[in-house]
Protein backbone atom coordinates (compact mmCIF):
# COMPACT_ATOMS: atom_id res chain seq x y z
CA UNK A 1 0.00 0.00 0.00
CA UNK A 2 1.13 3.55 -0.73
CA UNK A 3 0.16 6.54 1.40
CA UNK A 4 1.17 10.15 1.91
CA UNK A 5 1.48 11.35 5.51
CA UNK A 6 1.93 14.98 6.46
CA UNK A 7 3.85 15.63 9.67
CA UNK A 8 3.22 18.78 11.70
CA UNK A 9 5.90 18.61 14.43
CA UNK A 10 4.84 21.90 16.00
CA UNK A 11 6.44 23.24 19.17
CA UNK A 12 8.33 22.09 22.26
CA UNK A 13 8.73 18.32 22.34
CA UNK A 14 6.54 17.96 19.27
CA UNK A 15 9.43 17.55 16.80
CA UNK A 16 11.08 14.92 19.02
CA UNK A 17 8.05 12.69 19.46
CA UNK A 18 6.95 13.02 15.83
CA UNK A 19 10.43 11.92 14.73
CA UNK A 20 10.08 8.76 16.81
CA UNK A 21 6.59 7.99 15.49
CA UNK A 22 7.86 8.37 11.92
CA UNK A 23 10.60 5.85 12.69
CA UNK A 24 7.91 3.43 13.83
CA UNK A 25 5.82 4.01 10.70
CA UNK A 26 8.87 3.40 8.55
CA UNK A 27 9.52 0.11 10.33
CA UNK A 28 5.88 -0.89 9.80
CA UNK A 29 6.23 -0.13 6.09
CA UNK A 30 9.38 -2.25 5.87
CA UNK A 31 7.88 -5.17 7.77
CA UNK A 32 4.53 -5.27 5.97
CA UNK A 33 5.62 -4.19 2.50
CA UNK A 34 4.11 -0.70 2.33
CA UNK A 35 5.44 2.60 0.99
CA UNK A 36 4.86 5.84 2.86
CA UNK A 37 5.92 9.30 1.74
CA UNK A 38 6.29 12.02 4.36
CA UNK A 39 6.11 15.79 3.99
CA UNK A 40 6.57 18.26 6.84
CA UNK A 41 4.69 21.52 7.35
CA UNK A 42 4.33 24.17 10.04
CA UNK A 43 1.66 24.83 12.66
CA UNK A 44 1.48 26.58 16.02
CA UNK A 45 4.04 28.88 17.56
CA UNK A 46 6.83 28.04 15.13
CA UNK A 47 4.51 28.99 12.28
CA UNK A 48 3.65 32.29 13.97
CA UNK A 49 7.34 33.14 14.21
CA UNK A 50 7.92 32.51 10.51
CA UNK A 51 4.63 33.52 8.86
CA UNK A 52 2.69 35.53 11.43
CA UNK A 53 -0.12 32.98 11.48
CA UNK A 54 -0.51 29.70 13.36
CA UNK A 55 -1.90 27.85 10.33
CA UNK A 56 -0.28 29.01 7.07
CA UNK A 57 -2.16 28.53 3.81
CA UNK A 58 0.67 26.28 2.61
CA UNK A 59 0.08 23.92 5.54
CA UNK A 60 -3.59 23.60 4.63
CA UNK A 61 -2.64 23.00 1.00
CA UNK A 62 -0.23 20.15 1.70
CA UNK A 63 -2.63 18.57 4.21
CA UNK A 64 -5.28 18.51 1.48
CA UNK A 65 -2.98 16.26 -0.56
CA UNK A 66 -2.47 13.73 2.26
CA UNK A 67 -4.06 10.51 3.41
CA UNK A 68 -3.45 11.48 7.06
CA UNK A 69 -1.74 14.05 9.26
CA UNK A 70 0.50 13.35 12.27
CA UNK A 71 0.81 16.24 14.74
CA UNK A 72 3.23 16.74 17.63
CA UNK A 73 2.05 19.60 19.87
CA UNK A 74 1.51 23.35 19.70
CA UNK A 75 2.17 26.21 22.09
CA UNK A 76 4.66 27.19 24.73
CA UNK A 77 5.63 29.98 27.09
CA UNK A 78 6.76 32.19 24.23
CA UNK A 79 3.22 32.36 22.88
CA UNK A 80 1.25 31.94 26.12
CA UNK A 81 -0.48 35.34 26.29
CA UNK A 82 -4.22 34.47 26.11
CA UNK A 83 -5.03 38.00 24.92
CA UNK A 84 -2.72 37.82 21.90
CA UNK A 85 -4.44 38.27 18.55
CA UNK A 86 -2.69 35.20 17.12
CA UNK A 87 -2.16 32.11 19.29
CA UNK A 88 -0.79 28.63 18.53
CA UNK A 89 -3.97 26.76 19.46
CA UNK A 90 -5.96 28.76 16.90
CA UNK A 91 -4.16 26.89 14.15
CA UNK A 92 -5.25 23.55 15.56
CA UNK A 93 -8.87 24.65 15.87
CA UNK A 94 -8.82 25.98 12.31
CA UNK A 95 -7.33 22.75 11.00
CA UNK A 96 -10.05 20.69 12.67
CA UNK A 97 -12.75 22.97 11.30
CA UNK A 98 -11.30 23.16 7.78
CA UNK A 99 -11.38 19.38 7.40
CA UNK A 100 -14.58 18.96 9.45
CA UNK A 101 -12.80 16.66 11.90
CA UNK A 102 -15.83 16.50 14.14
CA UNK A 103 -15.06 13.26 16.00
CA UNK A 104 -12.19 13.05 18.47
CA UNK A 105 -11.34 9.52 19.61
CA UNK A 106 -9.32 9.26 22.81
CA UNK A 107 -8.64 5.74 24.09
CA UNK A 108 -7.59 5.45 27.74
CA UNK A 109 -6.08 2.15 28.80
CA UNK A 110 -4.64 1.30 32.19
CA UNK A 111 -1.44 -0.74 31.88
CA UNK A 112 -0.91 -3.19 34.78
CA UNK A 113 2.85 -2.58 34.58
CA UNK A 114 2.27 1.13 35.20
CA UNK A 115 -0.34 0.88 37.96
CA UNK A 116 2.09 2.22 40.55
CA UNK A 117 2.34 5.50 38.63
CA UNK A 118 -1.40 6.20 38.61
CA UNK A 119 -2.95 8.14 41.52
CA UNK A 120 -5.62 5.48 42.10
CA UNK A 121 -5.28 2.14 43.86
CA UNK A 122 -4.28 -0.69 41.54
CA UNK A 123 -7.55 -2.55 42.16
CA UNK A 124 -9.52 0.42 40.78
CA UNK A 125 -7.55 0.23 37.53
CA UNK A 126 -8.41 -3.36 36.69
CA UNK A 127 -10.07 -3.73 33.29
CA UNK A 128 -9.92 0.01 32.56
CA UNK A 129 -10.26 0.39 28.80
CA UNK A 130 -12.26 3.46 27.83
CA UNK A 131 -12.84 5.16 24.51
CA UNK A 132 -13.81 8.82 24.76
CA UNK A 133 -15.72 10.10 21.74
CA UNK A 134 -15.61 13.89 21.89
CA UNK A 135 -17.48 16.24 19.56
CA UNK A 136 -14.75 18.47 18.19
CA UNK A 137 -15.96 21.19 15.84
CA UNK A 138 -19.01 22.68 17.58
CA UNK A 139 -20.06 23.60 21.11
CA UNK A 140 -18.64 26.35 23.25
CA UNK A 141 -15.24 26.48 21.55
CA UNK A 142 -16.91 27.54 18.31
CA UNK A 143 -19.96 29.44 19.57
CA UNK A 144 -20.68 33.16 19.48
CA UNK A 145 -18.55 35.12 21.94
CA UNK A 146 -17.38 38.51 23.04
CA UNK A 147 -13.65 37.98 22.62
CA UNK A 148 -12.50 40.88 24.81
CA UNK A 149 -15.68 41.32 26.81
CA UNK A 150 -18.08 44.25 26.87
CA UNK A 151 -16.88 46.44 29.68
CA UNK A 152 -16.99 44.13 32.69
CA UNK A 153 -18.93 41.37 30.88
CA UNK A 154 -17.87 38.58 28.51
CA UNK A 155 -19.51 35.47 27.14
CA UNK A 156 -18.98 32.27 25.18
CA UNK A 157 -21.95 30.39 23.76
CA UNK A 158 -22.46 26.63 23.82
CA UNK A 159 -24.66 25.70 20.88
CA UNK A 160 -25.49 22.40 19.18
CA UNK A 161 -27.89 21.40 16.44
CA UNK A 162 -29.60 18.03 16.32
CA UNK A 163 -27.56 17.19 13.23
CA UNK A 164 -24.27 17.88 14.99
CA UNK A 165 -25.25 15.72 17.95
CA UNK A 166 -26.63 12.94 15.77
CA UNK A 167 -23.47 12.44 13.74
CA UNK A 168 -21.15 12.28 16.76
CA UNK A 169 -23.60 9.99 18.55
CA UNK A 170 -23.51 7.56 15.64
CA UNK A 171 -19.73 7.44 15.80
CA UNK A 172 -19.98 6.57 19.51
CA UNK A 173 -22.72 3.93 19.08
CA UNK A 174 -20.83 2.24 16.25
CA UNK A 175 -17.66 2.20 18.35
CA UNK A 176 -19.59 0.63 21.23
CA UNK A 177 -20.87 -2.07 18.88
CA UNK A 178 -17.26 -3.00 18.09
CA UNK A 179 -16.30 -3.00 21.76
CA UNK A 180 -18.30 -4.11 24.81
CA UNK A 181 -21.67 -2.71 23.83
CA UNK A 182 -21.97 0.05 26.44
CA UNK A 183 -22.28 3.79 25.89
CA UNK A 184 -22.34 6.54 28.51
CA UNK A 185 -23.53 9.89 27.15
CA UNK A 186 -22.36 12.83 29.25
CA UNK A 187 -24.40 16.01 29.60
CA UNK A 188 -25.73 18.61 32.03
CA UNK A 189 -29.36 18.24 31.04
CA UNK A 190 -30.59 19.14 34.51
CA UNK A 191 -29.37 22.71 33.99
CA UNK A 192 -28.59 23.52 30.35
CA UNK A 193 -31.11 23.69 27.50
CA UNK A 194 -28.45 22.75 24.95
CA UNK A 195 -27.78 19.59 26.94
CA UNK A 196 -31.45 18.68 26.93
CA UNK A 197 -31.30 18.80 23.14
CA UNK A 198 -28.15 16.66 23.36
CA UNK A 199 -29.85 14.02 25.52
CA UNK A 200 -33.02 13.96 23.40
CA UNK A 201 -31.04 13.51 20.21
CA UNK A 202 -28.86 10.74 21.65
CA UNK A 203 -32.02 8.93 22.77
CA UNK A 204 -33.44 9.17 19.25
CA UNK A 205 -30.25 7.81 17.69
CA UNK A 206 -30.14 4.95 20.20
CA UNK A 207 -33.22 3.41 18.57
CA UNK A 208 -30.97 2.40 15.65
CA UNK A 209 -28.57 0.58 17.98
CA UNK A 210 -30.65 -1.76 20.16
CA UNK A 211 -27.58 -3.88 20.89
CA UNK A 212 -25.86 -1.01 22.73
CA UNK A 213 -26.76 -0.30 26.38
CA UNK A 214 -27.13 3.48 26.75
CA UNK A 215 -26.92 5.44 29.98
CA UNK A 216 -26.96 9.20 30.53
CA UNK A 217 -24.47 10.53 33.07
CA UNK A 218 -24.31 14.10 34.34
CA UNK A 219 -20.87 15.56 33.78
CA UNK A 220 -20.10 16.11 37.46
CA UNK A 221 -21.13 12.55 38.29
CA UNK A 222 -19.01 11.25 35.44
CA UNK A 223 -15.98 13.09 36.81
CA UNK A 224 -16.52 11.34 40.13
CA UNK A 225 -17.09 7.87 38.62
CA UNK A 226 -13.86 8.13 36.63
CA UNK A 227 -11.99 8.21 39.93
CA UNK A 228 -14.16 5.86 41.97
CA UNK A 229 -15.02 3.18 39.41
CA UNK A 230 -13.45 3.85 35.99
CA UNK A 231 -13.85 0.22 34.92
CA UNK A 232 -17.60 0.74 34.56
CA UNK A 233 -17.12 2.74 31.35
CA UNK A 234 -16.72 1.39 27.84
CA UNK A 235 -17.45 4.24 25.38
CA UNK A 236 -17.99 7.75 26.76
CA UNK A 237 -19.70 10.29 24.49
CA UNK A 238 -19.35 13.97 25.33
CA UNK A 239 -19.50 17.45 23.85
CA UNK A 240 -16.46 19.53 23.06
CA UNK A 241 -15.88 21.13 26.47
CA UNK A 242 -16.89 18.21 28.68
CA UNK A 243 -15.01 15.72 26.50
CA UNK A 244 -11.87 17.83 26.68
CA UNK A 245 -11.92 18.01 30.47
CA UNK A 246 -13.02 14.45 31.22
CA UNK A 247 -10.55 12.77 28.86
CA UNK A 248 -7.71 14.77 30.39
CA UNK A 249 -8.88 13.71 33.84
CA UNK A 250 -8.99 10.09 32.73
CA UNK A 251 -5.48 10.30 31.28
CA UNK A 252 -3.98 9.86 34.75
CA UNK A 253 -5.41 6.34 34.79
CA UNK A 254 -2.68 5.37 32.32
CA UNK A 255 0.05 6.73 34.60
CA UNK A 256 1.11 9.70 32.48
CA UNK A 257 -0.22 12.13 29.89
CA UNK A 258 2.61 10.93 27.69
CA UNK A 259 0.92 7.58 27.23
CA UNK A 260 -2.24 8.57 25.41
CA UNK A 261 -3.01 9.00 21.71
CA UNK A 262 -5.93 10.56 19.89
CA UNK A 263 -7.52 10.65 16.47
CA UNK A 264 -9.62 13.44 14.98
CA UNK A 265 -11.68 12.10 12.09
CA UNK A 266 -14.52 13.01 9.76
CA UNK A 267 -16.84 10.98 7.56
CA UNK A 268 -13.92 10.28 5.19
CA UNK A 269 -10.80 8.24 5.93
CA UNK A 270 -8.69 11.38 6.31
CA UNK A 271 -7.73 12.12 9.90
CA UNK A 272 -5.45 14.10 12.21
CA UNK A 273 -3.51 12.08 14.80
CA UNK A 274 -1.78 13.51 17.86
CA UNK A 275 -0.86 12.69 21.47
CA UNK A 276 -3.09 14.38 24.01
CA UNK A 277 -0.17 15.96 25.88
CA UNK A 278 1.08 19.51 25.38
CA UNK A 279 4.36 20.84 24.06
CA UNK A 280 6.20 20.56 27.43
CA UNK A 281 8.77 23.27 26.58
CA UNK A 282 10.56 22.70 29.90
CA UNK A 283 11.88 19.32 28.67
CA UNK A 284 12.18 20.07 24.95
CA UNK A 285 15.45 19.08 23.33
CA UNK A 286 16.56 16.86 26.21
CA UNK A 287 15.62 13.46 24.74
CA UNK A 288 13.52 12.58 27.80
CA UNK A 289 9.97 13.03 26.48
CA UNK A 290 7.70 9.99 26.39
CA UNK A 291 6.98 9.14 22.72
CA UNK A 292 4.31 6.54 23.52
CA UNK A 293 1.31 8.77 22.93
CA UNK A 294 2.60 9.77 19.50
CA UNK A 295 3.57 6.21 18.57
CA UNK A 296 0.10 5.00 19.52
CA UNK A 297 -1.38 7.91 17.57
CA UNK A 298 0.51 6.54 14.57
CA UNK A 299 -1.15 3.17 15.25
CA UNK A 300 -4.54 4.90 15.19
CA UNK A 301 -3.53 6.50 11.87
CA UNK A 302 -2.82 3.05 10.46
CA UNK A 303 -6.17 1.73 11.63
CA UNK A 304 -8.55 4.61 10.92
CA UNK A 305 -7.09 6.38 7.86
CA UNK A 306 -5.28 3.51 6.12
CA UNK A 307 -7.50 0.60 7.20
CA UNK A 308 -4.50 -1.46 8.35
CA UNK A 309 -5.70 -3.23 11.49
CA UNK A 310 -2.93 -5.84 11.62
CA UNK A 311 -0.25 -3.17 11.35
CA UNK A 312 -1.93 -1.07 14.07
CA UNK A 313 -2.16 -4.15 16.30
CA UNK A 314 1.55 -4.82 15.77
CA UNK A 315 2.48 -1.32 16.96
CA UNK A 316 0.19 -1.51 19.99
CA UNK A 317 1.48 -4.97 20.89
CA UNK A 318 5.06 -3.74 20.61
CA UNK A 319 4.36 -0.89 23.04
CA UNK A 320 2.63 -3.31 25.44
CA UNK A 321 5.60 -5.66 25.35
CA UNK A 322 8.16 -2.91 25.85
CA UNK A 323 6.31 -1.59 28.89
CA UNK A 324 5.83 -5.08 30.31
CA UNK A 325 9.58 -5.66 29.92
CA UNK A 326 10.25 -2.67 32.14
CA UNK A 327 11.19 0.14 29.75
CA UNK A 328 10.36 3.49 31.34
CA UNK A 329 10.78 7.08 30.25
CA UNK A 330 11.38 9.77 32.87
CA UNK A 331 7.67 10.44 33.46
CA UNK A 332 7.14 6.80 34.47
CA UNK A 333 10.05 5.99 36.72
CA UNK A 334 9.49 4.66 40.20
CA UNK A 335 12.02 4.22 42.99
CA UNK A 336 13.31 0.98 41.45
CA UNK A 337 13.25 2.08 37.81
CA UNK A 338 15.96 3.57 35.63
CA UNK A 339 14.61 5.86 32.92
CA UNK A 340 15.61 5.63 29.29
CA UNK A 341 15.45 8.40 26.73
CA UNK A 342 12.96 9.15 23.99
CA UNK A 343 15.06 7.57 21.26
CA UNK A 344 16.01 4.54 23.37
CA UNK A 345 12.37 3.80 24.15
CA UNK A 346 11.51 3.87 20.47
CA UNK A 347 14.49 1.62 19.76
CA UNK A 348 12.88 -0.98 22.02
CA UNK A 349 9.59 -0.67 20.13
CA UNK A 350 11.43 -1.07 16.82
CA UNK A 351 13.10 -4.23 18.07
CA UNK A 352 9.68 -5.80 18.60
CA UNK A 353 8.44 -4.57 15.23
CA UNK A 354 11.46 -6.04 13.44
CA UNK A 355 10.27 -9.61 14.13
CA UNK A 356 9.17 -11.27 10.85
CA UNK A 357 5.40 -11.57 10.49
CA UNK A 358 5.37 -15.36 10.71
CA UNK A 359 7.28 -15.28 14.02
CA UNK A 360 5.01 -12.83 15.88
CA UNK A 361 3.64 -14.30 19.11
Catalytic option among 11, 234, 244, 331 = 244
337 in catalytic set: no
Catalytic option among 11, 67, 109, 141 = 141
Q: Determine the Cα–Cα distance for residues 332 and 352; give it in Å rounded to an integer.
A: 20
SS3 of the chain: helix, strand, coil, percent, to 5: 50, 15, 35
Catalytic option among 49, 220, 282, 309 = 220
Catalytic option among 188, 209, 273, 331 = 188
Query: How far is the CA of 198 from the CAs of 190, 216, 224, in angstroms?
Result: 12, 10, 21
Task: Please tell me whether residue 69 adopts helix, strand or coil conformation.
Answer: strand
Residue 74: beta bridge partners? none
How many CB atoms within 10 Å of residue 87? Answer: 20
141 in catalytic set: yes
For the chain, what's the residue count?
361
188 in catalytic set: yes
Q: Can you list the alpha helix ranges (DSSP code H) found in 180-252?
A: 193-206, 219-228, 240-250
Query: How far is the CA of 181 from the CAs of 26, 47, 174, 186, 187, in angstroms?
Result: 35, 43, 9, 16, 20
273 in catalytic set: no
129 in catalytic set: no
How many CB atoms within 10 Å of residue 269? Answer: 12
Catalytic option among 248, 317, 320, 337 = 248
- The DSSP code for 132 is E
- Residues belonging to the active site: 141, 188, 220, 244, 248
Amino acid sequence: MQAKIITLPGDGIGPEVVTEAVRVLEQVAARFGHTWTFEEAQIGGCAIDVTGTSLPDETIRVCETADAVLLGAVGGLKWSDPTAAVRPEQGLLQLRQHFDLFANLRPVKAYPALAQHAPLRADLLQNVDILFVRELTSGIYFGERAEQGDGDRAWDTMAYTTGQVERIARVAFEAAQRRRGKLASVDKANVLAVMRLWRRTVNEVSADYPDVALEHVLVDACAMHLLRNPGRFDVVLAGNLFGDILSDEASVLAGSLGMLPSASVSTSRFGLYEPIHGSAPDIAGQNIANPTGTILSAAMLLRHSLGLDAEADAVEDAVDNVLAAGARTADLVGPDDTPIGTTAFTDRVLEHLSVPIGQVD
